[in-house]
Amino acid sequence: MAADLSEPGAETDHRASDLALGLGRFAIVTLLTFLGLLAITFFIGRVVPIDPVVAVVGDRASQEVYEATREALGLDKPLPVQFAIYVRDVLTGDLGTSLTTGRPVVEDLARFFPATVEMATVGILIGVFLGVPMGVIAAAHAGSWLDQVIRVLGLLGYAVPAFWMGLVGLAVFYAGLGWVSGPGRIDIFYDGMVPTVTGLLTVDALIAGDMTIFANALSHLILPASILGFFSLAYIARMTRSFMLDQLAQEFVTTARVKGVSERVVIWKHAFYPIRVQLVTVIGLSYAVLLEGSVMVEIVFSWPGIGNYLTTALLRADMAAVLGATILIGTVFIVINRLSDLLYRVFDPRSR
């Protein structure tokens, strides 16, 4: 790019204009991708073998009732018009009514989502605080047995089914060793005893100042969150290692070493400092993947989150709920994806 040749004084201007350009791009791409998501859920909603009218009125309704409902649902209009109406409904928060719970899907999602966020957030914290140091250590000792162990651990993150790990974890740590509580979010006799503020049970217990409930909620949370965390750990450690190896091969690192800077400072200051933007991108992406991965873990742990809601709805052919949950997870996924991309573009000079 020609702009890169201008004098260094213009650097701050560049960053501001990059930010504006990035934001514009971010908005357009996010919007288009969101529309793409809606197009897919709309398509899935229309190709379902079940007649959407019959799903509402039942198969013994008279012809008049059937026609009236068909019209009320807007199914007599051309597809593009139906899609426009669909987009408008979604944007105004109307995702239909769940057949399973009988409530609007939006209300259901608001009830179930915090549990998923709580588990995924603790999971990503575990993944970051263990994965980043592991990646750095692996890179610093590249080729050693330590590096190999971390590498195999990382590969296991791609090879072990999350639901299987959940089952084995329950058998070992709950039934066998008794270190953690079993499935569910909290013991039944503590259920509903702290007022809901954030929807995150551990945080709500802290707000209420009830340490017993906090400890109980934590003992339910820690195993599923650790299992989720393992999968992000695998990815984060692998990426950290590869970024660090790139940095450690740079000339300024060699220069620092030749100057006699201690290995610790070389690794953590010279080599680690430049990769933090890339790392934030990776962490953002793994958080998005965790939200998705929580589906399988939630089922094993009977965790009352969005994944459980989605699969329960799936097995009962409750399409409004299935598509609502898909839109929610998809939207969060897209936004995190795009934000990571934006961050990368703005703060990594090489991508300009």
Partner 1 sequence: MGAVRDWLTDDAPASRLQAQAGRAWSIARAFGRNPLAMLGAVIIGALIVVAIFAPWLSPHSPVGQDLGSRLLPPSAEHWLGTDELGRDILSRILHGARITLLIVVMVALISAPLGLIIGAVAGYFGGWVDRVLMALTDVFLSLPKLIMALAFVAALGAGLQNAIIAIAVTAWPAYARIARAETLTFRNSEFIAAVRLQGASHLRVIVVHVIPLCMSSTIIRVTLDMAGIILTAAGLGFLGLGAQPPLPEWGAMISRGRSFILDQWWVATMPGFAIIIVSLGFCFLGDGLRDVLDPKQREGR
- Residue whose entry in the numeric block shows the structure tokens 């897209």: 334
How many angstroms separate the CA atoms of 335 and 27, rounded?
Answer: 10
Print the binding letters for residues 46-85 with partner 1: x by CB under 8 A, - otherwise: -xxx------------------------------------
Q: Does 36 bind partner 1 (CB under 8 A)?
A: yes
The stretch near partner 1 (CB under 8 A) out of 44-52, 99-107, 208-216, 264-272 is 44-52
Query: Whole-number minimum distance, CB 33 to partner 1, in Å?
Result: 5
Structural tokens at position 58? 């039942």
The stretch near partner 1 (CB under 8 A) out of 6-14, 65-73, 129-137, 240-248 is 240-248
Q: Does 234 bind partner 1 (CB under 8 A)?
A: no
Which residues does 201 contact at the CB level (< 8 Å), separation at least 6? 115, 118, 185, 186, 194, 213, 217, 221
Structural tokens at position 270? 């010279």
Which residues does 90 contact at the CB level (< 8 Å), separation at least 6? 38, 327
How many angstroms separate the CA atoms of 36 and 330, rounded?
Answer: 10
- Residue whose entry in the numeric block shows the structure tokens 């066998």: 176
CB-CB contact of 126 with 225 (8 Å):
yes
Length of the chain, please? 352
Query: Whole-number minimum distance, CB 284 to partner 1, in Å?
Result: 12
> Residue 83 burial by CB count (10 A; 0-12/13-18/19+): exposed, middle or buried?
middle
Q: Closest CB to partner 1 among 17 and 351?
A: 351
The stretch near partner 1 (CB under 8 A) out of 9-17, 33-41, 78-86, 255-263 is 33-41
Q: Does 159 bind partner 1 (CB under 8 A)?
A: yes
Query: Whole-number minimum distance, CB 148 to partner 1, in Å?
Result: 9
How many angstroms separate the CA atoms of 127 and 130, rounded?
Answer: 6
Interface positions, 276-335, toward partner 1 (CB under 8 A): 288-289, 291-293, 295-296, 299-300, 310-311, 314-315, 317, 319, 322-323, 325-326, 329-330, 333-334
Q: Which of 97, 216, 223, 238 binds partner 1 (CB under 8 A)?
A: 238
Q: What stretches of 160-261 show up as alpha helix (H) in DSSP?
A: 162-169, 201-208, 211-248, 251-258
Q: Which of 163, 173, 190, 347 binds partner 1 (CB under 8 A)?
A: 163
CB-CB contact of 215 with 255 (8 Å):
no
Contacting positions for partner 1 (CB under 8 A): 29, 32-33, 36-37, 40-41, 44-45, 47-49, 155-156, 158-164, 167-168, 170-171, 175, 238, 241-242, 245, 288-289, 291-293, 295-296, 299-300, 310-311, 314-315, 317, 319, 322-323, 325-326, 329-330, 333-334, 337-338
